[in-house]
Homo-oligomer: A and B are copies of this chain.
Amino acid sequence: MTTKLSQLKQDFTEGLSQISRFWGFPKGMGAIFAVLYLSPAPLPLDEIVTQTGLTKGAVSTEVRTLARMGLVHRSSRLGDRKDYYEAESDFYKSIRSILKERQNSEFDRAVRSVQETLEKLESGSVSGDEAEVAFVHERVKALQEFFNAIDNLASAVIKLESLGFRNVAKILSVLK
């Protein structure tokens, strides 16, 4: 039983859509990436539109956030007003880029608010049952430390410019 390439591409796209949704991104985003990832040449927006079935507007905005994340790259050609998009195929690069992106995000703001909570506790300006305040202090501090650990890990990963995943995995395997 043979499969048509077009069918295979479609299945693949479907799969990436689900993965995208699983990670909390719109499934359309996964589809767009899939189409670009399987294309040997950069594609103009219109081509993405026809291949995904989304509208121009949707593709326009989503391809932009993909670009911000470093998962796709936009380029243009002289004497051609179209923009062309192609997928980043070095996933490790993408991950670093995504991690960087996350650092200036809503997440960071929230983490910072935990930091503020902690500072209030450290400064002794919190009123209430003494034992409970102490307990809360300890817990908030532990959470903050956890966040720091995560942050350090992320920074470390970001800095591994040259290493491929294989190497990282190898290193981790030493720990078993």
Are A171 and B175 in contact, with the CB atoms below 8 A?
yes
CB < 8 Å neighbour of A152 from B116, B128, B139, B172: B172
Are A126 and B2 in contact, with the CB atoms below 8 A?
yes
Are B169 and A149 in contact, with the CB atoms below 8 A?
yes
Copies of this protein, total? 2
Interface residue total, chain A, C-beta cutoff 8 A = 69
The answer to whether A69 has its CB under 8 Å from any CB of chain B is no
Are A169 and B153 in contact, with the CB atoms below 8 A?
yes
Interchain Cβ contacts under 8 Å between A and B, 11 examples? A2-B126, A3-B126, A3-B127, A5-B129, A16-B114, A18-B113, A22-B106, A38-B140, A89-B139, A91-B143, A153-B165
Binding site for B on A (CB under 8 A): 1-6, 8-9, 11-12, 14-16, 18-19, 22-24, 37-38, 40, 89, 91-92, 105-107, 109-111, 113-114, 116-117, 120-121, 125-129, 131-133, 135-136, 139-140, 142-143, 146, 149-150, 152-153, 156-157, 159-160, 163, 165-166, 168-169, 171-173, 175-176
